[in-house]
A and B are shown apart, each in its own frame.
Chain A
Amino acid sequence: MMTLISIVALAAIGGLLGGLLGWASKALKVEGDPRVDELEGMLPGGQCGQCGEPGCRQAAEAMVAGKLGPDCCPPGGRSLAQSISSLLGVALTEGGEDIPVVARIDESLCSGCTRCFKACPFDAIVGANRQMHTVIRHVCTGCRLCEKACPQGCLSMDPVAPELHTWQWPKPKVA
């Protein structure tokens, strides 16, 4: 008798909880992952494609799905990688970091074709038809889209040199 009651009781509890879970999964369903929208808002939005995805939205989806690491976005740099890793709760690997770069136009080679500034998603290049172009260094994110667009090959990426107020103290060496 006792065995029967136990079996029935356990089955009832199991059924009840299962039903509750089934109801909850339907009633409390979230369309898409809200983190994708949040992530997309954090990304630079240049659609530069350096992460290997066609655009920032797709990159955000891939990161949420775990297909891309939080440090996949070179224009966002280290700080973006850190905020993404804390949002997604993914560990950030040390050292896999790109040196920040900015574009530089070799002005003796520039033909003024305007292709680079059409390619720039951030409007960081100014110039006009058959006029020499130049890069606004503090706006450039180093996304390298202009480098591919230039037919003259006069665009190069320079590492950002530290200045007095941007120089960083090295981390002490651990004993």
Chain B
Amino acid sequence: MVQFTPVAGPHTHGGTSTTDLMYLVIAALLPASLFGVYLFGINALIVLLTCCCGAMVFEYLGLKLLGRSSHSAMDGSALLTGLLLGLSLPPSTPWWIALSGVFFAIIVGKTVFGGLGQNPFNPAMLGRVMLLICFPVELTNWQQPTPPTMTDGGLAMNNHWLNINIDGISAATPLSQLAGDVSQSLPSFTELSLGQHAGSLGETSALLILLGGLFLLWRGIIHWRIPVALLLGLAIPAAISHLIAPESFGSATSHVLSGGAMLAAFFIATDMVTSPTSAKGQLLFGAGCGLLIWLIRSFGSYPEGVAFAVLIMNATTPVIDHYLRPTVFGQAKRFPL
């Protein structure tokens, strides 16, 4: 049937859909997620699965509540929120805490604002912060990684990995070391990049997250502006302060490679819904996130500031988008730079 009713162009399309975008981001997160499970064992897997499945179920319920088509629960956006929340939790988190976090993230963080595209705050970070405030003990109980080792008798999995002994070996994260006494021996550069240290599930291996981020950049899913600005916004003040007072401030590398900085740079701050859209706005947003992360880590009472920093900058997004609009082609630049 030829369509003769008036419909405006273009009469063709590039072919990318929102669902494609979401699943590509999830694919880019998979290596880091699997590595997290390898490091921390069965309970890590339980946390991730709880978050992902819970997110889908709550999204489905939320869409029913809004009276929308429930097909959208499969568009990957809820799954991504769940995965990001799971990756930002400690591997020893009990499943019911993870589930309440994902409930908060999806229903309060997203559905109440009207669903996909309407939420002002990153839902995963909202859930993370809620959990941190409600369950401070469970959320700061970090474990030493206990990956299976190759022995002569095959793959040896220890009890911690298999989740037999719930009370894992608690250990300090590099960030809590940074916040405390910097003179203590920090994990080496290689350990930080490979993730051989205590920390959140998916925040440990900076290298795998960087690879996932580069994949997204290559596929054009995210733009370089927010990650680069965020990492620079974090690294520059860290480097300067480290130069001035090395005994009380961590180095730029330790800041960039530890905690959730990499995850935030490539996957959390780049969340499409809650970040600005203009080039100048994205640079400002990224730099603001980076600076806030450094400030909270260095001067705040929490060792990690990614979630707070991202939420604070999310709140500024409408203002940034309003004032840092791109200059119309041909118009004189408003801010000659």
Contact = CB atoms under 8 A, between A and B. Distances in A.
**Do A and B touch (CB < 8 Å)?**
yes
Interface of A: 169-170
Nearest to A175: B69
Contacts of B6: 169-170
Contacts, number: 3
A171 to B, nearest CB: 11
B133 interface: no
Interface string B1-22: 0000010100000000000000
Categorize the interface residue count of chain B: under 10
Interface of B: 6, 8
B75 to A, nearest CB: 13
Contacts of A169: 6, 8
A145 B6 CA distance: 36
A170 B8 CA distance: 10
3 contacts: A169-B6, A169-B8, A170-B6
Contacts of B8: 169
Contacts of A170: 6
A114 to B, nearest CB: 44
B131 to A, nearest CB: 34
Nearest to B5: A170
Nearest to A167: B6
B10 to A, nearest CB: 14
B70 to A, nearest CB: 14
B5 to A, nearest CB: 9
A169 B6 CA distance: 8
Nearest to B7: A172
A170 B5 CA distance: 10
A157 B87 CA distance: 68
Q: Which 3 A-B pairs have the closest CB atoms?
A: A170-B6, A169-B8, A169-B6
